[in-house]
Amino acid sequence: MPEVLVVDDSKVMRDMVVACLRPYPGLSFTHASSGLEAIERLSLKPYDLIVLDLNMPDIGGIEVVEFVRGQDTLRHLPIVIVTTRGDEASRARALQAGADRFMTKPFTPDAILGEVKGLLERVHG
């Protein structure tokens, strides 16, 4: 059963992401409300994908991406960035840090479901 780590300081946004991904069969979800909590959760168990906000009060999304890409055991973990920052500099920085996809809020349920489905199928075949 693929496990998705949903990281956003907004509980409403975490719940919205989960609601959008519910149609994908067999997914289970873990929530983290900060970048620090995400890093702690990543050290406790394996995940199949991260949906990650950029703007968080402690450790930002870019720093979480850099942490993941710097770990041998996490290096290939797919990461989808979801953010209100739609500027090209933020997109370029996130992708350069190693994020797989970059989506701006608001997004449609079909759009995020399509991105997650594509990444999980790439990893799991």
Domain ranges of the chain: 3-124
User: Are the C-beta atoms of 75 and 68 separated by less than 8 Å?
Assistant: yes
**Encoding tokens for residue 102?**
């970059």
Q: Which CATH class is domain 3-124?
A: alpha beta
- Cis status of the peptide bond prior to 2, with omega within 30 of 0: no
Tens of pLDDT, residue by residue over 73-108, are 999 999 999 999 989 999 999 999 999 999 999 999
pLDDT at 120: 95
Indicate the pTM of the whole model.
Answer: 0.96
Q: Which of 55, 48, 3 is nearest to 33 (CA)?
A: 55
Tens of pLDDT, residue by residue over 47-64, are 999 999 999 989 999 999
